[in-house]
Structure formats: structure tokens, C-alpha cells
Chains A and B, each alone.
Chain A
Amino acid sequence: MTAIALILLIPILAAAVLALLPGYRLSATLNMGASGLTFLAALALLLLPRPAPTSFFLVDDLNIVFIVLNTLVGFTAATFSASYIGHEIETGRLTPLTLRFYHAMYQVMMFGMNMALLSDNIGLMWVSVELATLSTVLMVGLYRTHEALEAAWKYFILGSVGIALALFGTILVYMAAQPVLGEGTPAMVWTKLITRAADFDPGMLNLAFVFLLLGYGTKVGLAPLHAWLPDAHAEGPTPISAVLSGLLLNVALYAVLRFKMLMAANPATIPVGPLMVAMGLASLIFAGLMLYRRRDIKRLFAYSSIEHMGIIVFAFGMGGPLANFAGLLHMVMHSLTKSAIFFSVGHIAQAKGSQRIAAIKGLTVSHPALGWALALGVLAIAGLPPFGVFLSEFLVVTSTFARQPVLAIGLVLGLLLAFGALILRLSGFLFGEPEGDVTPVRASYLPIWLHMGLVFLAGVHLPGAIVVWFQAAARLLG
């Protein structure tokens, strides 16, 4: 059996089993096991010789980065989730029945995301992103509180509109390709599209890309289409916040990148880089400003995700080998760091019984291990050395300075804004008189330290093999 089949079959079979299985402890372990096996399958896909692309699935230097990252964070988030839900059951916020649903949906979401990343067919890619979106909508509404329902509703409406616009863009791409590639499946297969893209009608492609950028861009969380993102992060269970920030935004970004490559293959189309640069910079500066007045800790980090997606889209918009490399590296670093932050935030919010920033003080005294884990995460995400985020942000800034100094000023301004806000908040979290509950919590530190360790290693010394691998992916992006 090929690795591709395993990456897809394990989550969907696990979802079916989890839906039937009573007993949340066993389900949590199974959820973890299935995610772990999927990660191993992804590693096998990385190390074994690549299968040739079919009309539905494709593996190349670009998507293998996304798949390995996706399955890794899927696995660590499932590990975190196993200890997180124990507390939720004790406090009665979740019942065993909702958890059964939650675990099944978790695997459906992983299936959707993996399929979107593996797909060589733009129709299949759309269906998979839709599936991943709908399963997360259901999980965001899991607590069934007033706030959770409002967040889920907002996410559902905005996400669906985004998805609908993306479908219109997909149809337009098909219509542009159909005169050249003929009717039927070939005109939706990405590897076939890219070889003949130069013959497509450029006007149709331009229009299609606008729809695709708006549609998938809503899911990336780019300003001004980001309205769903903070609510969905704040009101859902924290493992889902980690997966949303760490993975789902990347999947949507991956879709945008695939279509960007298609546009680049046709010289008569409008250059799409400036569009992405503008949206990325707007998201970065907007989110940098919004970070200052947050009162909810998960919302704070949700805005930080908008900021970082802005940086990544900016880097890919600039294009060229160096900026693409930096964008890819930043994406990986952001996913690892941000999910680690959400892992610690989840335990902290459980310990304090609140997500309000005002209620979280003096963590170094009350919960030192969690407090310092959060501190490391925040320092890393703010872009301080020696973490990998510093390296990637530095690469983005220097490559921009070399080509467009004016844009670099905006970029640095946004980075400084966000840096100030995060450091300001961090000192509040860590120091001062502890408030509220000071009893220790059972937390799973392994996922946090694993992620932070990887980010630290990348910042100190990026192994040559990874550099070569990412360079190959960056070359593909053009």
C-alpha cells in the first residue's frame, strides 16, 4: 500500500471507529495513535521515492513540506488534546458524548487537510478544503455557549462565502483550461494545467485568481477577510485553536500558492505578487495594531496568527528564491511556535479557569513550568533570537530591503508593533501577584518542548538537508 493511501485512509478509518467508540480515554489514545501513524506515513512519503502524479494525487517538493508539518502538528495537538480533555470532563464543560463527536471530527479534519495538500486536482482540493472547514466549524461550536455558537456561526458564514468564491474561481480556471486541454478531468489536473498554462486565456485566469485569492484568502485570515478568525480561535477547544492556527491557515495558503504558480506560468496574466504583498502587509500592520487592546488571551494569539500569515503571504508575494525560502521557513516556524503557545495557553486557561488576560498574572510563581513555556513561545513568536522565527523574519526583511526598501519600512513597522504588544502582555502574564487559582494542573509538556526544541534548533543551526529541501520547494514557487 502506498504512503499516500495510508495518509488518507488512517484518518478516515480512525474517524469511523472513533464515532462508534464509547469511552473518551480510549478514544483520546486512539486519536493520538492514529495521528502518530499518519505522521509516520508522511515521513515514509518524504523518504521513499516519490510516486508519479495521478489525476487526483501529487507529491512534489512543495507539498511534502506542508504534509510533514501538517501530520506532525496533528500528532502533537492530539497528544495535547488527550490531557486537555481530561480536565474538561472533570469540570463538566464537555460530556463523553460530545467528546466522541470531537474525536471523530478531529480525524475528519485531518483527513480533509491531508487530502487538500495531496490533491493534484483543483476540484478535489476545493472539496477537501470545504470538508476541513465544515468539520472545524462543528468543533468551534462544541462548548455550545452563547459565545461559541456566535463564533461558529460567524465562521460558518464567512468560511462558506470564502469557499463559494473559491469554487467560482475553480470553475473559471476549468473554463480557461477547457479549450486547450479538452473537456473532462485533464482540465482540472494541476500538473497538466501548469504545463499548458501559457496557452490559457489570460483574462479568464486573472479573474479566476481574484476569486481564488479572496476565497482561499478568507480562510488564510488575511485582512480585511479575517473577521471569523479571532472568534473561532477564542471560543473553540484549545487543541482546535492550535490546529486552526498551525495547520488550517497553511492549507488555505497552500491552495493560493498552487494557483499563484499557475498564474506565473502564463506570462500574459497580471503579476499576482503585488496583490499578495498588499494584502500581507495590510494584515501585518492591522493585526499589529489590534494586538494592543486584547482582553482575551486566545484572541491575542489569534491576532498574532493573522500578523504572521501576513508576513508569510508578503514573503511569497515578493517571490524569488530567497523570499520564497524565507516564507516557507517562516510558515513552518510559525506553525510550530504558535501551536506550542496554544498548548501552554490551553493549560493556563484551565488552571486559572479563565481566558481573560486580566485574570492571568504571576505565572512564574503560580505555575512556573507553564509560565516559562509560554514565555519562551512568546519570545520566539515575537521574533527574538535564538529562535527560528527570528531567522525567517530576518530573511524576509533583508530580502525585501534588497529589492523594495520602501516596502521593508512597512514590514519592519508591523513587526515592531507586534513585538511591542506581545512583550507588553508577556510581562503581565509572568510577573506580579498571582491571581485566582494557584493549584498545579496536570499538563502535557512533551508537545510544547518538542515544538520549542525544533524552533530553537532551527534558529541555532538549520541542518543542510532541510536547507536543500526548502530551497527546492522555493524554486518550484518561482
Chain B
Amino acid sequence: MTHLPLDIAHLLAGGLVLVSFLMIYQNRLSALLDVFAFHAVVLSASVAWQAQLQQAPDLYITAAIALIFKAGVIPSALGRIVRNLGIHREVETVVGTGQTMLAGMGLVALSILLMMRITAGADPLAREDLAFALAVVLLGLLMMVTRRNAVSQVVGFMSLENGLILAAAGAKGMPLVVEISVAFSILIAFIVIGVFLFRIRERFDTVDIAAMDDFRGDQK
């Protein structure tokens, strides 16, 4: 029985890694946004469980932010942009899905091997959470480098950030976790949605990064 709380924490953190994998092979933007919303729900559950385990009520705020903001507001706002632009059907990927999945598995194996070896002395709860968190961070990075679309890069970045919040929530008693998650969410929403996507669209009628890539500052 004593293992149950730990097991639930691992289940939720491991679930986050799985949802990251789900995101990697979504080739439609609207589906990607749905999966991202689910990613945020799992994160929220995981952080809330940590709050329960660590008796740290302020983590509930982080969980609530993840739920309301990342699972609700951001995906729906991005979804609206995507629908308005009429690009909700497709996502171009630079590398094939198969290779990306294999690379993703490699990254997960790497992070687990690395973390388990290095953190041998640490508290088991934090230790395995950290391994999963690193895996989510690396998968988010992988997604950012394999996607060419501004919206999916932003989604990749937000999933990376979810990994960081998982790590911060797992670090027992870490101060500033709530502040960091608030700062992250607000600034990202502000910049990405408020400024960039509208401006990029205003200029190019597209959010495809490739359309910007024809500009190479020095070659003109």
C-alpha cells in the first residue's frame, strides 16, 4: 500500500511522456492542439498529485494554471487562428514520422539511463519524475526541430515547458515554482498569440516558417 502514491505519481509522469509521443506523429494541426490540451490535463493531474503528496498547497495553483490556461485558453485560441488561416488540415514534417519516433525513443532511453545513474542518491520520487521530465523536455525539443510550422513549433515549446514544470513540481519544496509557471504562461501567451502570429500573418498570410526562410539576411 505504501507504494501506491509513488506509483500514481510515476503513472502520471509516464503518461505525460506517452502523450508527448502522441504529439510527435500528429500530422494535422487541429489534432495536435487537441493532444496538447490533453498533455496539459495530464500535467495538471500530475502537479496536483505532487501537491497532495508533498502537502504543498501552492502547487495546486500551478495545477490550476495548467488546466485553465494550457488545456483551455491557449489551445482554443491557437485553434481559432489555425481555422481562420485555413491550415488546420496539415502539418509538414521535415523528417519522416518513423525516424522521429525512433529518435524520440532514443531520447527517452537516454534521459532515463542518464538520470537513473546520476541521481542514485536522490529521493526516489523526485528521481524518476526528473527522468520523465527530462524525456518530455527532449521530446519537446525534438518536435520543435522537426516541425516547420510556427504553430506547431509553439506547441512543441509549450510541451517542453510542461516538462520543466513537471521537474520543478517534483523538486520538493522548490520556491518560485508557481511564480515561474505563471510568468512562463503569461509571457508565452502574450508574445506568441498577441504579437507574433498576428504579425506574421499580417505580413505573409501564412504561419509557415519555410515562407520566412527564403530570407537569408546576407544573401540578398
Chain A residues within CB distance 8 Å of chain B: 123-124, 126-127, 130, 134, 137-138, 141, 144, 146-147, 149-153, 156-157, 160-161, 164-165, 167-168, 171-172, 174-175, 178-179, 183-185, 187-188, 201, 203-204, 206-207, 230-231, 234-235, 293-296, 299
Contact = CB atoms under 8 A, between A and B. Distances in A.
B117 A171 contact: no
B191 A156 contact: yes
Contact of A171 (B121, B167, B204): B167
Contact of A157 (B130, B144, B174, B200): B144
Nearest to A160: B157
B126 interface: yes
A253 B103 CA distance: 32
B8 to A, nearest CB: 21
A452 to B, nearest CB: 28
Contact of B164 (A151, A152, A171, A234): A171
A403 B103 CA distance: 42
Interface stretch (B9-17, B85-93, B210-218): B210-218
Contacts of A293: 218
Given A144-B203, A203-B119, A296-B217, A171 B174 contact: yes
Nearest to A126: B180
Interface in B174-220: 174-176, 179-180, 183, 187, 191, 195-196, 199-200, 203-204, 209, 212-213, 215, 217-220
B217 A188 contact: no
Contacts of B215: 146-147, 150
Contacts of B219: 295
Pick the most buried of B174, B179, B180: most chain A CB atoms within 10 A of its CB: B174
Given A134-B187, A164-B160, A127 B179 contact: yes
A179 B217 contact: no
Contact of A156 (B118, B176, B196): B196
A215 to B, nearest CB: 11
B217 A144 contact: no
B26 interface: no
Given A144-B203, A153-B150, A201-B122, 13 more contacts: A141-B195, A149-B212, A153-B196, A153-B200, A153-B209, A161-B144, A164-B161, A171-B168, A175-B130, A179-B122, A201-B121, A204-B118, A207-B118
B148 interface: no
Interface centre among B164, B217, B219 (most CB of A within 10 A): B217
B182 to A, nearest CB: 10
A141 B212 CA distance: 14
B95 to A, nearest CB: 18
Contacts of B45: none
B163 to A, nearest CB: 8
Chain B interface extent, by class: 35 or more
Given A150-B215, A168-B167, A175-B122, A188 B183 contact: no
17 contacts: A123-B174, A127-B183, A130-B187, A134-B187, A138-B195, A141-B195, A146-B204, A146-B215, A149-B212, A164-B160, A174-B174, A179-B122, A183-B172, A187-B173, A188-B174, A207-B118, A294-B218
B141 interface: yes
Contact of B137 (A168, A174, A179, A187): A168
Interface string B127-160: 0001001100100010010000010010001001
Contacts of B209: 153
Given A164-B161, A168-B164, A230 B176 contact: no
A232 to B, nearest CB: 11
B77 interface: no
Nearest to A356: B220
B55 to A, nearest CB: 11
B114 interface: yes
Contacts of B183: 127, 130
Nearest to B188: A160
A204 B119 contact: yes
A160 to B, nearest CB: 6
Contacts of B196: 141, 149, 152-153, 156
Contacts of B150: 153
Contact of A203 (B118, B160, B161, B176): B118
A175 B218 contact: no
B31 interface: no
Contact of B118 (A127, A151, A206, A235): A206
